[in-house]
Structure 1
Amino acid sequence: MKMRSCAVLILSFLSIITFLTTGCLSGETVLQLNDDVLGLIVVKSGLKDPFKSLDSWNEDDESACGWQFVKCNPGNGRVSEVSLDGLNLSGKISRGLEKLQSLKVLSISNNNLTGNINPELALIPNLQKLNLSHNTLSGIIPSSLSNISSLQFLDLSQNSLSGPLPDNMFENCISLRYLSLSGNRLEGPIPNTLSKCTTLNHLNLSRNHFSGNPIFPGGIWSMTRLRTLDLSNNGLSGPIPVGMSAIHNLKEIVLHGNQFSGSLPADIGLCPHMTKIDFSNNLLTGKVPESLQKLEALSFLSLSNNILTGDFPQWIGQMNSLGYIDLSNNGLTGTLPASMANLKSLKFLSLSNNKLSGSINVPYSSLSVVRLRGNAFTGSIPDNLFDMKLDEIDLSRNELTGFIPPATSKLFENLRILDLSGNNLRGDIPAQMGLFSKLRYLNLSWNHLESRMPPELGYFQNLTVLDIRNSGLIGSIPGDICDSGSLAILQLDGNSLTEIGKLENLLIANVSYNRLVGRLPSGGIFQTLDASAIEGNLGICSPILKGPCMLNVPKPLVLDPYAYGNHQHRGNNERSTNSIRHHRFLSVSSIVAISAAIIIAIGVMVITLLNASARRRIAFVDNALESMCTSSTRSANLSAGKLILFDSKSNSPDLFNASLDSILNKAAEIGEGVFGTVYKASLGDQGPILAIKKLVTANTLQYQEEFDREVRILGKARHPNLIPLRGYYWTPQLQLLVSDYAVLGSLQAKLHEPNLPSSSPPLTWPNRFKIVVGTAKGLAHLHHSFRPPIIHYNVKPSNILLDENLNPKISDFGLARLLTKLDKHVVSNRFQSAPGYVAPELACQSLRVNEKCDVYGFGVLILELVTGRRPVEYGEDNVVILSDHVRVLLEQGNVLDCVDLSMGEYPEEEVLPVLKLALVCTSQIPSSRPSMAEVVQILQVIKTPIPNRMEVY
């Protein structure tokens, strides 16, 4: 500070001397040289230099031309360039730079600078390049920068700049060639004066909060010299009109992550130099423009996550330069053209979640990633697909049949992810799979393999997740499957496995509903397993299971897994041999036990038949009585398929049945979940707008009275933080639930869909804390005000709706009560559609649901609210689990580094204990999680003044 003060005084003194001695050439030159030296010394005094990179800058030197990171103009000896990139400098840019009157290049990127941008940078008359990117600068961009008419390169990206851009920002941009303001918090419309930058070649305004529609004739389309245009991840909206052909030199256009709507511009193919097009994550409709096929140089095409329709473009196979194609998450139909085999440069292909059909033909020699998930492809997996050097194969959730092809050594070398789940594959698991040395994720679940697990699966070196549940597996688990130490999650439930192997090193395991017999090992994971992870077997003996230890199961049941009759693919001779072997092993005690079991079974059947007969007689009497009554009862209404409203006396069937077909159509659909599809509807012309959920039919309560009783229990759950259930509609073929419609949408949209109008401005900390508290109170009401408690089962941001005051309203609670049991398919969909929210005891297909599962989901929701991140994020080489990430930061003492900066200022004394509470709620052990009543109490303590606050974690 002392050196800085002296430098400033000297600068002031020399300025006066310079003014008094004007006209003396030699004296002026000396003073000008000192201006450069002293100006840079003042800059140095405002910086912290931990690695002493600027030690060569000495105020005693007569010239700065010999200093490191400084260049001078050899003609006049003045400083012309200062480049301090990546020196780990911190502090602020203070005054002094304005003295460098010959400076043309100033670059201080990739440092830790803070504070505002100094407006006096505009006093440097000849500045051509200004690069302050990748720092932590804040505040607004000073309007004075518009006065630098000589500026050709301006990069202020990756800072924390905020506010709108000055209207006159681009008044004097006649020389500007490169402009990047990406990765800041800038907002508002893009100034119209931008169109005056007629010489601009590169424009990047991505990852801000800009709004409005800058794509209009006379706007960006008038900047005919543009070569790259990136407006991605903003809140820009409106159509993208034709006129792109005016930007004849355009090579890259990136508009993903906005709200652009309407059709793609038909003349997009008239930009002959185009190499990259990314319009993904918008609201674009219509077909893929045919003019695209004219872009012979196009290498990157992404139109994913829009609402595109029509047939898959058959001409795409003619675009030989394509290396990246992503058309996933649209409504495309049709088949893949055989001409795609001509795409010799294609490395990435993602067509997931469309409506494509036909066979899979992908003989593209250069491919690395193939994602065709969630379509209707049929036929078998092409053999040549497993003869390529692929990194990822995802063919899940299609209608593929046949066998899994054997892989060649090419696939061994590279494959990291293989997902063939949700098909109709059969046959053996190829033994070669065990040789995939780089494989990290293998999912063969929900198929019809009906084969043994090859011992070669124990050869995996880097496998982290192995999922082969519900695939008809038989035999034993390879004993050395966990020897590599990398396997963390093993899901084998719903098969017919008979030996458990060595699984001590796992983090998560589920072997429920197999045919396992014997005593569990005492070490490793078996000490912490939940009972639901091993239930449904023949006779596992473990302290975590209630009841006696059943180890006296007859040996034939263990020795021969085919004796159960569910593997009919075996031949008659083998079945005869098995039958003889059974008779050979049966002992007297076994015969006695079997006889007793038969007698008990017959008794149960008789009682069941008697009960059913009694129910029929009672139902007959009830119906006869109802037919004699003048007024219809509740059961009569149900049998007639009427709409039942809990708080209305009008239950006329005409009010609902007349418009039922118009309600349950695709246009009225507003959401879909594991329990059913939600539609927007109104009761009558003047009736209120309601949300109608059409329940899945699998395992729904089949008796009208049971359904009515459970729904009415849910209807009594009234609380300020719950979406009330208004009524229902029931027929044997159709069950609907009626609830209030939320106009402002869900917390999911507010947090993770910044392109939606309802999600801006960002949530402040007081609003986020209010959402946390309100959600906790709503869940506590469900858990503690009903017996048995109402379990939500599906706590996540998409089920938290917001009213006009940002008060949270929990929706879709207690729907598991309407099922006779939690169908495994429903549980699987729950896990796949909401990764990260599912408690560990449920993630592995356990069917046990309790309040602690809701507490886990609530903890993940807190983490999302505080960090603004999703619970699971997939990178190119890793998967980030949010709870684990925050827990590591807490242990390192840097947990506040994960706080979402978009919410502005926040009190650390509140945010820190809330984060700790979230980690307690997401404990791997259910008993370690607090109840929701305790959570509410803790949150109330956190909100109290600091002297009365207790430590949470």
Structure 2
Amino acid sequence: MMRGRIILISRAKRRKEVPRFVFASIFLNLVSLIDLRVAACNSTSCDETMGAASSFVGLRVEQATARRLLAVDSTQTLRQDGDVLIQLKDTIKIYCGDPNNITSMWKPQGKRQAVNPCKEKNGTKQYWRGIDCSADLRVESINLTNLGFSCKLSLLVPSLRSLSRLKHLDLSNNSLTGPIPLELASATALETLHLRSNRLDGQVVPTIFRALSNLTSLDVGNNSLQGSIPPSLGGLQFLETLDMSGNNLTGQIPVELNSCKRLNKVVLSRNGLQGGVPFKSLSNLTFLDVGKNDLSGELPTSLDSLLALQTFDASHNAFEGRFPSFAGLKNLLYLDLSTNKLTSPIPREFYDLMRHLSFLNVSDNDLRGEVPPFDEHRGVTSRSFLNNPHLCGKTLNKKCSTEKSMLVAISVGGTVGCLVMVLLMYVCCSRCLRNAKSSKSSATVSAEVELNLSSEDVTRITQNFSEQNYIGIGSMSTVYRGQFLDGTAVAVKRLTIRRGEMSESAQTVLADRFEILGHIRHSTLVKVMGYCCSPDMKALVMEYMPNGTLSNLMYPSGDAEVVKEFNWTHRINAAISVAEGLKYLHHDCPTPTVHGDLKPSNIMFNTFMEARMSDFGVAKALSDNGIGPSASIVATTSGYLAPESARQACTIKGDVYSFGIIVLEMISSRSPQSLEAGQTLPQWIRDTIQRNKSLKHVLDPILMSELRLQQQRMAMVLGVALLCTREDPKERPYITEILKMLNHIKANRQDGSLRGSRGSRRLRSSLRNHQRNEEVPGINVQPWPPSAGPSAPRRHVMSLPHNPTLSDWTQDSAENR
């Protein structure tokens, strides 16, 4: 070794290459040092005795050959983030299943096999689906909702907790099982944790959430978690949203939650919580739902300190005593205190608040006193006070007792006066009793007084379900015409549920659901005027629609006395009315509702040929109680349910799909059941236009006479319907956006411009949840505004195209591939 070093020195001196000599000398010394270390250690302890040089060399080897090992504890680079995600993908594939193949693109890309989960596609979307990155290119968000994963959550956590910059994690609407793993506490950067609608169980471990001090949103609702709500949640100073509804939680609501000063929304409904409502002085709290628990005692006056509160639901508990005035809640819009044991008069201050409420329900209590006259409006009517036998007033059609004034008169009267007054009181009471009996008799069959009807009432309304009153039959019900005692015509839908088919608890849940449906009111919805949910009969009493259903108009029977001309104007107006109804159910209703069974037979027409939607929420109410055919059977046979309905509960995007099918049917007059096996109506529309290169080949013959004048509108409405029926729910627009499109199409002149504007104006369609921009015949989708950054609010408009030509229908679009 020394001899070699002398030779190098002599050569360097001769050539005057001092720099090379220096580097060579350093290298040889380093090699000698490593040789000495290796000689000094044995085979079992070599790693422990290696010096700095050996550790340095070993580190480089590990980075080159085993990069994923560095990502186990805490990732430091984008490449390590990617390696962890690939590990997560392997776990999902092996243990959870990936039926939608979402993680298929989680892999090295390009010639260099680069691992880059933040690589953008077309400069707009993250290349790895479900992954979002920060501005400095680190993985900070994972959204894997509604993907059919079925495995233990604990299998996924080791990878997830290694992502050192992970802020947002959403695994909702899967079938993940087991308890929430303690290891999740290591993901200390988390700000959003959503595990909603899985099958998680076990105790809620307090130490998990104590460590996640950066949480702003925690949603573990609709699982089977047990135990009590951890008081340690009070230590989450940044917490804004807390949802633990629909579990098996017991114990009291911890008072420590009042330390979370940023709380904006708290949902603890549908558990078994006891005690009272401890919330106070939370200035940011706007939404509080503690309904359907076992809470008791008096509603505290401290609720008045929740100054920002807009929604308060404490229904279906055991609260008793006085009715709060809520005088301090100037922003309150929604109040539900139904099904409790409140016994006091309603304070006068509360009636001033009622003018600002959009929904009120204090039914099924024991409230006392007179309800003064008030202006009824949507959600606040006389029905808001049902089943409070000691309430009275003109609004409730119930006279208040005059016994108090009578007793005063008796006390100052003489003997003769006393006898006269007693006699008069007897006469008055007799009349009152007769009036009360008469009122009670009509209340059982008048939806204006009572929603819950007995089986005898329903039988009497329909004249014992006589054949003369028969209207039609469906897969789960038979419909009859009926009439209340006051002459109001109704339609009675008797469900084909046999006695004993439902348990008592399921029957109670179904009755509660029908009660909610009875309070939903909108101009485009058929009113539910009553219901019966007795052991031997399940029925809905609805507003009668004299012009029948959309099915009747599209496919009239041969013996129909009058076949109405169902022209283009009727059809686009019907589509807009149904869209308005869905918009209310999905986004504006105090109790957001999924229709779940939208089809032509559930779209009805009143005297003025205005479309009204019926049976909203009934399918879900039945399926939740195990009644009716399975979703997979219905989805594959009806043609109206979205493809994903075969494996998951109905969603608002499923309603959008059904709406699109109905619009396609109104345009083509072709029922989904009339197609070949395995073919869908959107596929038939696209294939027919591609083959014949003409709109008229998919058009209802009745509409042919209007084709010349309405061709552009028909083309654009057809494009909207195809947009609604995309296979991927994320690529379908929301009903709010669809309604905007239809209204602008209706207002559009044949030359493509809008009334009241110069030239053409553009109305763009929202696709913020779509994975790609696809061309749809007649629809041109563009982002808005073009220069907006990813965090800027987005407006979405659909362009109104030129008069459609054959090229519009046969373009090589992703929709046709």
Q: Shared topology, TM-score over 0.5? A: no
TM-score (norm 2): 0.42
TM-score (norm 1): 0.37
Structure holding more helix per residue = 2
Structure holding more strand per residue = 1
